[in-house]
Amino acid sequence: MFAALGHFVVRRRKSTLTVFLLFIFLAGGIGSLSFTKLDTGGYSNPSSQSAQAAKYLTDNFHVKDPGVVLVLDSDSGSVNEPANSAAAQRLEALINKEPGVSNTLSFWSAGGAPQLMSSDRKAGFLFIYTTKTDFGSMSEVGKSIQAKYDGDFENLRVYASGGGVITHAINSKISKDLALAEAISIPLTFVLLAFVFGAMVASAMPLVVGISAILGGFFIIFLFTLFTSVSIYALNLITGLGLGLGIDYALLIVNRFREELHAGKSVEESVVTTVATAGKTVFYSGLTVLVTLSSMILFPLSFLKSFGYAGISVVTLAVAGALIPLPAILALLGHKVDKGVVRKSAIVPKEDGRWANTARFVMKRPIAVIVASLALIAIIASPIKDISFAQVDSRVLPKADKAAAAAQVITERFLGQEGSPIEIIIPQGVQHNSEATTFITEISKVKGVVRVNRPQVNGNDLRITAIQSMPSRTAAAETMIHAIRAIAAPDGTLVGGPAADFTDSQDGIAHTLPWALGWIALSVFILIFVFTGSIILPIKAVILNGLSLVATLGILTWVFIDGHLKWLVGDFTQTGTIDTGTTILIAVVVFGLSMDYEIFLLSRIREEHLLGKSNTESVATGLQRSARIITAAAGLLAVVFAAFVISGVTSIKLMGFGVAFAVILDATVIRALLVPALMRVFGERNWWAPKSIKRFTLSH
């Protein structure tokens, strides 16, 4: 099949390239329409109890959460003083006229409600409700309110916080930081590409695959937006992974093309052989990355599902770009692919060299290498015992950010989270008054609950609000919600609110995770078995990638929970947790890329073994031919992601550092040491599989 594709591309190189380019540019044009359709939310579990409670509140009680929360601080004197009250009322009147604001509620308009006043009596809340409640609309109102009113107003100091303000602050900061990271990483990547490929013409080849993947990925994402919600952060994964896979696949294809050319084959023969060998590797490598990333679709949160959609999109187009336009360009370029020499030693692949010598060194003392490598991984992974998860809140922002400062004022000076209460609905609760009264009493005893307000009656339904002491998106809030739900309650009781929403999101992820891991392990096992014809190799690959992942989680705990290496990653607020969604994204992307490198390595080892070489020489030659590609690809990808640590948003730092560390660990300790050592230990048993299932393997 792949040889036939190579022949087709060679014979119709110009028309193939023209049609593909037209498709990609058309796809990019249509795909750009998706930018206005993407969602900035998607962090809730739509099938959860908290989602049901939110719908019940909206439909039956016509309740909505404030989009913006202002703190009006008098600095000196009570908020009840006439001058302070007059200034606050004037400000509230102005805000009520702002676009997108439906109504307001404050300490002053509520008649001096004590729960809306700070513990020192010098500040009060002003809640702003928006006409639209989606994340995008609230963010726009939050942006406007913060820009106009955060600061001094007459004799008051105004602090702007709340979901709309924090969402805008995080999204704005991420956009600026990613632009800066790309401004640093992209020029540096191009310089490194020229060094790795050894020639200016060859170094442009990753752009063919990368641009194909990115523009085509936008088109497929547009198709997804026609029938489901897609997070705006899917674009970041498409661009980052598109460039990364472009580098990986172009390195593999161009390196093999050069190898065939320098072996004396014609340009046409070289292209056909390249597609039949390296092209096949790219296809199966892409398939393993695709099935790994598709596991994200299993999670209930549309934020995580979106990364699955993005992964499917970008990997599909990256593989297509490597198998169709890239070979067509190589057929047109021929020996000109080596024009613009930068480093001559990189142009002609060596038959033997330091990587082969490394493999032989490792295979002479495999047990010692395995023990030392596992000990190193164990040391790196050891902090994982302290790992704890939460979700993004204002603390991911730099401490100097206005939104973060405002949130800190609320935490320090107000007893409870008045703007984000626990919402409890008891349908037909009036008919179960004694049971409801007992339930309310028990809620007030739960650790973290500051106050339970008097029930609100709507027909026969009861609405109860409770105020907690801690921020909603924390492990403490999760424990509190579980405790409330464990209390005996009237039938049909719903516990909602931001803390419950966070708890249901975390629980949804936890319940889905085993299924996602099972899908990844099983699908990857099957694909590697089909590709190699071995039972041992896929088991080893899954275990080694699991070790790499555990080590990555360990180092993330050590850095972002324990607070080490701030001199390297920059300052951030230590919360004792790391973001759940970002961690899952890191884990899935890293596992997918690790399998990418595994296929690269095993493909070449398998090819050498089929030529009749011994297990030891197959590993040595395979490592020599592929390790340079793997380490170069990993190094370039690490540069792209390492640039993200300059971000002021902790979750972006986390992603950048996590992926960069993982790919470097995988390309060195895992691929260069553990893989050859284990292959030496297993010997010819590496390629064993029962005869009854051998017929299901791929013919090489």
Q: Which two tokens stand for residue 671?
A: 């691929």
442 and 340, same domain (yes or no): no
DSSP structural state of residue 341: B
Q: Which two tokens stand for residue 126?
A: 């002003």
| Integer Cα distance of 200 and 190 in angstroms | 9
pTM above the 0.85 mark? yes
Q: Say which amino acid occupies 299.
A: F
243 and 327, same domain (yes or no): yes
For the segment 633-644, the average pLDDT, to the nearest whole number, is 85
* CB atoms inside a 10 Å sphere around CB 238: 26
For the segment 531-550, the average pLDDT, to the nearest whole number, is 90
325 and 368, same domain (yes or no): no
| Integer Cα distance of 123 and 70 in angstroms | 10
| Integer Cα distance of 283 and 271 in angstroms | 16
Residues 6+ apart with CB under 8 A from 667: 597, 630, 631, 633, 634, 635
Closest CA to 104 of 118, 88, 117, 119: 88
Q: Is residue 326 packed enough to be buried (19+ CB in 10 Å), middle (13-18) or exposed (0-12)?
A: buried
Cβ atoms of residues 596 and 248 within 8 Å: yes
Q: Which domain covers residue 4, as residue numbers?
A: 1-37+198-349
HSE (side-chain half, CA atoms, 13 Å) at 363: 22
3-state secondary structure 383-395: HHHHCCEECCCHH
For the segment 295-318, the average pLDDT, to the nearest whole number, is 92
407 within domain boundaries? no
671 within domain boundaries? yes
446 and 549, same domain (yes or no): no
- Helix ranges restricted to H, 415-474: 433-443
For the segment 546-550, the average pLDDT, to the nearest whole number, is 92
Closest CA to 208 of 38, 386, 332, 355: 332
Cβ atoms of residues 493 and 52 within 8 Å: no
Bridge partners of 449, per DSSP, are 468
φ and ψ of 160, to 5 deg? -105, 125
φ and ψ of 458, to 5 deg? -135, 100
DSSP structural state of residue 451: E
Q: Using one digit for the tens of pLDDT, what is the confidence trace for 326-337?
A: 999 999 988 888
**344: pLDDT strictly greater than 80:** no
pLDDT value, residue 550: 94
Per the structure, how many domains does the chain have?
4
525 and 616, same domain (yes or no): yes
Percentage of residues of the chain with pLDDT beyond 70: 98
Q: Using one digit for the tens of pLDDT, what is the confidence trace for 72-92?
A: 998 778 888 888 999 999 999
Cβ atoms of residues 115 and 78 within 8 Å: no
Q: Which pLDDT band, with edges at 50, 70 and 90, does 178 fall under? A: confident
Closest CA to 588 of 638, 541, 546: 546
| Integer Cα distance of 375 and 371 in angstroms | 6
Q: Is residue 476 packed enough to be buried (19+ CB in 10 Å), middle (13-18) or exposed (0-12)?
A: middle
121 and 263, same domain (yes or no): no
600 and 664, same domain (yes or no): yes
Q: Which two tokens stand for residue 418?
A: 């008045």
Residues listed for the chain: 700
Q: Using one digit for the tens of pLDDT, what is the confidence trace for 136-174?
A: 788 899 999 999 999 999 889 999 998 889 888 888 888
Per-residue burial over 407-436, b if 16 or more Cβ lie within 10 Å, else e, is: bbbbeebbebbbbbbbbbbbbebeebeebb
Q: Say which amino acid occupies 281.
A: T
Q: Pick the last residue of a domain from 135, 161, 187.
A: 161
Q: Is residue 389 packed enough to be buried (19+ CB in 10 Å), middle (13-18) or exposed (0-12)?
A: middle
Tell me whether strands 456-458 and 461-468 are parallel, antiparallel or unpaired. Answer: antiparallel
**215: pLDDT strictly greater than 60:** yes
**101: pLDDT strictly greater than 90:** yes
pLDDT value, residue 119: 87
Q: Which pLDDT band, with edges at 50, 70 and 90, does 346 fall under? A: low
pLDDT value, residue 345: 65
| Integer Cα distance of 305 and 392 in angstroms | 17
DSSP structural state of residue 123: E
Q: What mean pLDDT value characterizes the chain?
A: 88
Give the H or E element holding residue 550.
Answer: helix 536-556
Q: Which two tokens stand for residue 595?
A: 């399998």
DSSP structural state of residue 199: B
- Helix ranges restricted to H, 198-301: 200-203, 205-225, 234-262, 267-274, 280-293
521 and 607, same domain (yes or no): yes
**391: pLDDT strictly greater than 90:** no
For the segment 486-500, the average pLDDT, to the nearest whole number, is 92
3 state DSSP class of 427: coil
Which range has highest mean pLDDT (187-191, 533-537, 693-697)? Answer: 533-537
What is the full DSSP assignment across 33-61? GGGGG-BS---S-TTSHHHHHHHHIIIII
411 within domain boundaries? no
pLDDT value, residue 350: 61
pLDDT value, residue 128: 94
**352: pLDDT strictly greater than 80:** no
Closest CA to 652 of 641, 638, 639: 641
99 within domain boundaries? yes
Bridge partners of 462, per DSSP, are 426, 457
3 state DSSP class of 465: strand
- Owner of token pair 């080596």: 338
Could you tell me the CATH number of the domain that includes residue 298?
1.20.1640.10
612 within domain boundaries? yes
175 within domain boundaries? no
486 within domain boundaries? yes
Determine the number of helices (DSSP H) and then strands (DSSP E) in the chain.
26, 12
5 and 89, same domain (yes or no): no
| Integer Cα distance of 512 and 574 in angstroms | 28
Q: Which pLDDT band, with edges at 50, 70 and 90, does 348 fall under? A: low
Cβ atoms of residues 629 and 252 within 8 Å: yes
Closest CA to 317 of 290, 281, 288: 290
pLDDT value, residue 379: 97
118 within domain boundaries? yes
For the segment 504-527, the average pLDDT, to the nearest whole number, is 92
Q: Pick the last residue of a domain from 114, 141, 161.
A: 161
DSSP structural state of residue 292: H
319 and 447, same domain (yes or no): no
487 and 567, same domain (yes or no): no
Q: Pick the last residue of a domain from 349, 368, 389.
A: 349
**347: pLDDT strictly greater than 70:** no
Q: Which two tokens stand for residue 45?
A: 């579990």
Angle, vertex CA 254, rays to CA 248 and CA 256, nearest 5: 100
The region that residue 417 occupies, defined by phi over 0 for left and psi between -120 and 50 for alpha, beta otherwise, is beta
Dihedral over Cα of 30, 298, 58, 148: its sign: negative
567 and 648, same domain (yes or no): yes
